A and B are shown apart, each in its own frame.
Chain A
Amino acid sequence: MSHVLHDIEKQIIKVLQSDPNLTEEKISQETKLSMDQIRRGVEWLRQKKLGDVSESVNISLSLGKNGLDALKNGLPERRLVNLVKDGPKTFDEIRSSLQGFDFNAAIAHAKKNDWINIEKTGTGSKISLKDPDADVPNDLDLIISKLGEKTIAPTEFDNTPLAEPLKSLMERPDFIIAHEEKTKTVSLSETGKKIDLEKLDSGAIDVEADVPHVHAARIHPLKDTINEVRETFAHLGFTEIIGDLSQSSFWNFDALFTPQDHPARELQDTFYLKGLNAKQLATPTQIKNVSNAHKKGWRYYWDIQEAKKMVLRTHTTCVTIKYLADKKPDEARIFSLGRVFRNEKVSYKHLVEFNQVEGIVVGKHITLRDLMGIQKEFYRKIGLTKVKFWPTFFPYTEPSLQSMVYNERLGKWIELFGMGIFRPEVTKPLGITKPVLAWGGGIERIAMLKFGLDDVREFYNNNLSWLRTASKCQ
């Protein structure tokens, strides 16, 4: 069987065939490949049973903090002996020279070596020299001077008289540090050794090998759907208009014939901006006519202060209605797309902030069936083909329909966009004389179908693993 080898593998085999056991670092030096490439290549060889890796641990010794101190100043017990050489000294006198831990260790070790005597007197304990040869250097001093500032393998002490003393020194804290170093030694298997690199087809690579996942930087999946929707509206002949997210209640509610005591206007449904009121509402005529429409239709005292309260728009209709009121076009196809807000408890099906699109058709001859047709075509363009319509209710359109779209994955009809004809109570006061047909709805719902999500919050979690892997399923 001939082997298909990566160039990295070939280079590793080449150096191992001349030198059978090498560390990964050494191979890296020899081949000039990076450690990362070597690790990958070795792993490939191992999987192909061409190479083997054995792990070994190397230990080396060096002096620790106390060891280095002893190298400089001598062992604590040796320093103690020097202090009492010229006559006995009290504990307090010694403590002033040998501090803290050194003091205790020095006394313990000197006593163990039988170098000193401790006498209790009336003025406290005194230490005197017992062994006159106590200042002759011993094995411990030898070990410390041998290590010095070097690093030495423990094997150098094996079978020498210093082996035992080394053990006792290693038990003392911070005198000797043992460093563990793992090395991976790579070798070739019998098959690996037999590979003739010269004979391998030099151009071939392993095209069947597994490769790592790569992540594309990408536009957010929801934004993908938003862009698709925007594009489709433009294809259908609609021109985009944009408007502010913060709006006066006048354009968000009053201009749409929503009475000021309507439940939708309450704090628990709509976000009001604390302490902010609109400075300029609309033209005096617009205000007067809207006010009159409310008085006539809903029979209550219409309060301009209420209309001035600033809200986060609850729909994009406030943008389209203002456009229509200001421009009064006879013929138009426009749309508005963007964030809208509802004061809701966040759940798998509700967000406080989401995207909505709304298209408007103005025209003398436009019909409800036309609007159904435009909508059906919109769905076809974004890949939703099973569509039906049901009647529904919206406060500012009449008649009102909702479209239902069949979803195969869920096996049921999903309510998507709504549509309807603006009530004359909305259009007349604003001087709009031609019929206005509106359609639109939430975009997240469409994106959920496209990306197969059952929890709308996923779009705003910005979970990198989802962003990196999300793919369209419809």
Chain B
Amino acid sequence: MPVVELSLSRLQNLVGKKANKKQILDSLPFLGLDIESLDGNIVRVEYSPNRPDYSTDFGIALGLQGILGISKGILKLDVKKQGNYEIKADSSTSRIRPFVTGIVARNGLLDDESVKQLINMQEDLHFGLGRKRKKSSIGIHDLDRISFPLKYTTTSRDHRFVPLNSTKESSISEILQDSEVGRDYGSILGQSAKVPIITDANGQTVSFPPIINAALTTVTTKTKNLLVEVTGIDKQSAEDMLSVVVTILQGAGFQFSQLKVSGSKNSTPNFASRSIAFDADPVNKILGLNISGSMLLSCLKKCRLDAVMKGKKIQCTIPRYRFDIFGGMDIVEEVALGYGIDNLKPAWPASVHIGEKNMTSEKLDSISRLMTGFGFMETLNSTLTSEQILYEMANRDSSQIISVTSSKSQEHTILRDSILPGLLENLSKNIHETYPQKFFESGIVFSKGSPIKETSSLACVTASEETHFSEMKAVLQSLLRIGFNIKCETKTLPSHVLFSQGRVAEIIVNKKTVGYIGELDSKVLENFRIRTKVVGFEIKLSGLIFD
């Protein structure tokens, strides 16, 4: 989950002096913000990806004002239609990144910390909502360096301009090759000869979305007026993202003027709120509360929504940036948050349910109990294991290997088709401990099927100088007889890679082979650096003691 770093004193200034720092700290978790660390004045909180408005302290302050009752309801958004701000999309963009939208934000003041917060917001929005800039991405510019109208069009890869954080001109190809952002996000543009670009009335490059802005429009602490543009492959998500930026800039004290958007399926963004009407009853029912209509209205307002009674129904108004609210259940959550999760008291439901464990779990349980009774220690290994343990060290055939893609860990790349190699690995890790050592494990093994088959197996090993085949066979026989009233036989097997020749047998139940038992082969033991004798068996439980 994304993390944002906040200064408590700055947050207090934004929330208003009525709240003290302790109240603020105590309230953060009840907005769904997990405090990750607290170091003096600096608090780091984790926020949920469905609330990108919490990616800055401006957005969090709005939430805190609501829940603390300092300022409730929707913060009214006024987008003036003054000025002649306009951007026109060229049809050539439709094949690569068809949509552009934006807004003009005026008369704000940005200090160092505010700029830092906006950069954090931009990165988080790009990563989450923007799906690593692929779906949508933002550019924030110094408005006063730009002449309108703007053009959203395409250009060739040899087009040159001075990119952000640079003083010299580069071509698009050079930026894609030589800069970090170019290398990270260049693949979004594929092999297309033409790439998207925003130019102003004087033909100056403003932005090369979704990669980098031009140096020309760099935002500094002296910047008062901003142009925000969002480009993307989905119109609605571009406008979603823009609405979050607008809310945050509103919190930062900016005023807004409309950016007219036109051309090739594009249109001027609409920041209108929506409304949902619902009955109070079902909300109370699902929460297990009995709160009045007026209380419900208050709860919603504390979550910075607006709500009024319309006859018996409640009509809730949802601002544009709360696109995480899909329907009724989301409203239920808003009511719960406004009511205060700490005010929700756990209840005990009357129940006529009789619980029971699954038959398979029960039988695996009794195997564990019997095996420990026979003196075996239970071990647990990953079912996602390594080729080295399962095949290389065990000398086993790897032709039916089932692997996962792009594992971050070398020890976990393939699914096990047998448990015994894992037990040998356990013995190998414990060669400095006292002997005899006796291990067992039961669990899932995988084989190819349609497309994959999962069955349960049991394996066990005894390692000591004195152990021998018949000791293991005695355990096997007793386990099956005592636990499941099953009679098993062992039948000579000419050879098996894991076991010594002449000391290995198939385990037969009802004329069917269900496993193998024997003395482990000395080469295999050597591979696992085990210096004592080892006997063991592995038996398929699925089809034998459960389906």
Contacts and interface: CB of A to CB of B under 8 A. Distances in A.
A441 B398 CA distance: 35
B333 interface: yes
Contacts of A300: 234
B355 A268 contact: no
B97 to A, nearest CB: 16
A140 to B, nearest CB: 44
B408 A392 contact: no
Given A217-B377, A246-B452, A398-B332, A234 B357 contact: yes
A369 B345 contact: yes
Interface residues of A, number: 91
B351 A271 contact: no
Interface in A237-251: 237-242, 244-246
A297 B327 CA distance: 11
Interface in B385-433: 402-409, 411-412, 415, 426, 429-430, 433
B454 A244 contact: yes
A388 B289 CA distance: 18
Nearest to A232: B355
B17 interface: no
B272 interface: no
B477 interface: no
A461 B380 CA distance: 8
Interface stretch (B70-78, B111-119, B334-342, B521-529): B334-342
Interface string B119-144: 00000000110010011000000000
A467 B377 contact: yes
B408 A344 contact: yes
A236 B355 contact: yes
A312 B32 contact: no
Given A242-B358, A352-B407, A462-B380, A367 B347 contact: yes
A145 interface: no
B454 A460 contact: no
Given A242-B361, A299-B236, A372-B347, A235 B355 contact: yes
A223 B371 CA distance: 14
Contacts of B446: 245-246
A401 interface: yes
Interface string A364-378: 011111101111110
Contacts of B373: 217
B285 A367 contact: yes
A276 to B, nearest CB: 4
Interface stretch (B45-53, B466-474, B497-505): B45-53
Interface string B256-290: 00000000000000000000000000000111110
A366 B349 contact: yes
Contacts of A464: 377, 430, 433, 437
B541 to A, nearest CB: 13
A19 B33 CA distance: 84
Contacts of A370: 288, 347-349
A120 to B, nearest CB: 57
Most buried by A among B31, B332, B337, B405: B405
B377 A240 contact: no
Contacts of B236: 299
A263 B355 contact: no
Given A268-B406, A368-B286, A391-B336, A230 B454 contact: no
A63 interface: no
Contacts of A310: 451-452
A272 B404 contact: yes
B30 A222 contact: no
B451 A276 contact: yes
A115 interface: no
B289 A219 contact: no
Contact of A425 (B326, B337, B368): B326
Contacts of B376: 217
Given A333-B351, A421-B286, A272 B329 contact: no
A424 interface: yes
Nearest to B405: A272
Nearest to A335: B355
A262 B383 CA distance: 26
B193 interface: no
Interface string A204-232: 00000000000011111011000100110
Contacts of B369: 219
A157 interface: no
Contacts of B342: 388-389
A297 B100 CA distance: 22
Contacts of B346: 369, 372-373, 375-376, 389
A267 interface: yes
Nearest to B233: A300
Name the 9 nearest CB pairs between A and B, nearest first. A367-B288, A393-B48, A237-B353, A399-B333, A369-B288, A372-B346, A234-B355, A370-B349, A240-B358
15 contacts: A216-B372, A219-B368, A231-B357, A234-B356, A238-B355, A246-B415, A246-B452, A278-B451, A312-B384, A343-B408, A353-B384, A373-B346, A398-B329, A462-B430, A463-B430
